[in-house]
Structure 1
């Protein structure tokens, strides 16, 4: 199974005994959407609802930190996602949150995982079948194996300021990156990690919501000043849209680490330096 699958491919695979389809839609409550209700109203037949808003470390004050391996495995098992499953993720979110689910699954040891290109919007635009209500779930064993080599902590990101070993690429909008637009979180500084590059996650998608591929995708990174042959650490607001950059790099055959705390941690920490503007002015 390719990492990025088409609606046509998925339609042909519906009902396969080893296929598990997952709705990984997540949006902030401020947008006024109830994504669980949206799922029950219409989803791809057989799909289960992941609920990324709850699949996190709820003891951590930061918004979207990785849960424990045990919590992750328990949730996967309850959704019927287990060993031997081919997992296809999709979303109906402006933030393309299937990529966050993909990154989490990879971090916790699942490797036969794909994203549906164009998500639910493309599926529905093509007039394909949807189901309503909840699916009947069958508990399956999920062998969890946490691999945190692709996860970066605050201390590691601070150390990287001095070493410069990894390029830091920020997936937020240009206005959030430069500090022109204030951060929406209380007591969080505007700006970005000094020395980081800005590639808004929207730059990885075509106008119809499908992923850029090949040269077009590589060009998006190149235009942001990213050297694909050097190590990369990714950041954003809370670790969600940075996951789209991680998936985009995966499509290009590259691995990248992700700073899970992202700006919600760095921007609120009084001890971290913050840069403002396209030409950096560093505070702290």
Structure 2
């Protein structure tokens, strides 16, 4: 069983792990991990959540593709895990950026967490209504901005209900726009986001990705479906070209999930990455990309579950890259 201190060390960048002894880990960091030490992995089960409801923060991080015409807010108001709060990945973002849900500034993220009462030492469990979709983005955001004791309910709300546990229905709920409003208020007057947050090694920019085409210092893994990756299908966003970043690999995020939207086994996940040409040895860092920075985080979370916790995400992803006429693109197989 992983010790609390070892769990802290697992979250540090490779070069910093040697400093993760008790003299170098902040007191609060040790305490938060100890409080959540009943789970030794990022993914938690419905039973774990149910058994620990009194001692954790539960957060609904649902977001749906606009074409689906679903309202995550309305769904939250109608039904949620007891005591859950709502975190809006679209609202907690850099509103000055034309791309959707790009990372906010550090001040914006801190304000959002404070508005939800998440500024204490309690562990946070995130979930969504799809099972495994936008919740991965929220998990990555929390990590970027320095929050360690954050877990993800594998299979989300559907798994919680399927396990026979009671959902909270209708009634009064905390202000669902609290996180978004606090973030936007905190970012008023800012000219743009200092989006790298406290762990900039988890975030890559378009400039980083373009430089890497020749330098090849890290692997880029694209979570989009094969047709979009190969340039055989049109992109859903207007003005975005089809294709992929030269040199990138393709691992469709859906291949990592079971039919009930829980993650496949660790061995299956490893095999999927390796069969698509991804080096999991740790010798070459991994950067995940997708359409708008959501499903890339599913890849990052999958990598975390198999012992590769420091995969970065290209925040702008293809919606930014493909819209830049000057950026080189490739089509066809990886």
TM over 0.5: yes
CA RMSD of aligned residues (A): 1.6
Shift of 1:208: 2.0
Shift of 1:95: 5.9
Alignment of 1:164-183 (within 5 A): 164-183=216-235
Could you say which residue in structure 1 is the equivalent of 2:268? 216
Could you say which residue in structure 1 is the equivalent of 2:311? 256
Shift of 1:246: 0.5
**Is the 1:95–1:240 contact (alpha carbons within 8 Å) kept by the matching residues of 2?**
no
- Is the helix fraction higher in 1 or 2? 2
Alignment of 1:191-270 (within 5 A): 191-229=243-281, 230-254=284-308, 255-270=310-325
Q: Secondary structure at the match of 1:272?
A: coil
Alignment of 1:1-284 (within 5 A): 1=39, 2-16=41-55, 19-93=56-130, 96-132=133-169, 133-136=171-174, 146-229=198-281, 230-254=284-308, 255-278=310-333
Q: How many residues align?
A: 271
> Can you list the C-alpha shifts for 1:171-203, whole angstroms capped at 9, x where unaligned?
011111111110011111001001110001111
Q: Secondary structure at the match of 2:124?
A: strand
**Is the 2:287–2:313 contact (alpha carbons within 8 Å) kept by the matching residues of 1?**
yes
Give the stretch that moved more between structures: 82-91 or 102-111: 82-91
Shift of 1:94: 6.9
**Is the 2:290–2:318 contact (alpha carbons within 8 Å) kept by the matching residues of 1?**
yes
Q: Tell me, in whole angstroms, the C-alpha distance in 2 between the residues paired with 1:78 and 1:242.
A: 27
TM-score between the two structures when normalised by the length of structure 2? 0.78
Q: Secondary structure at the match of 2:120?
A: coil
Could you say which residue in structure 1 is the equivalent of 2:9? none
Q: Tell me, in whole angstroms, the C-alpha distance in 1 between the residues paired with 2:52 and 2:199.
A: 30
TM-score between the two structures when normalised by the length of structure 1? 0.92
The unaligned stretches of length 5 or more in structure 2 are: 1-38, 179-196
The unaligned stretches of length 5 or more in structure 1 are: 140-144, 280-284
Shift of 1:165: 0.9
Q: Tell me, in whole angstroms, the C-alpha distance in 2 between the residues paired with 1:94 and 1:119.
A: 4
Shift of 1:50: 0.5
Relative distance call for 1:12 and 1:94 in structure 2 (3 A) is closer
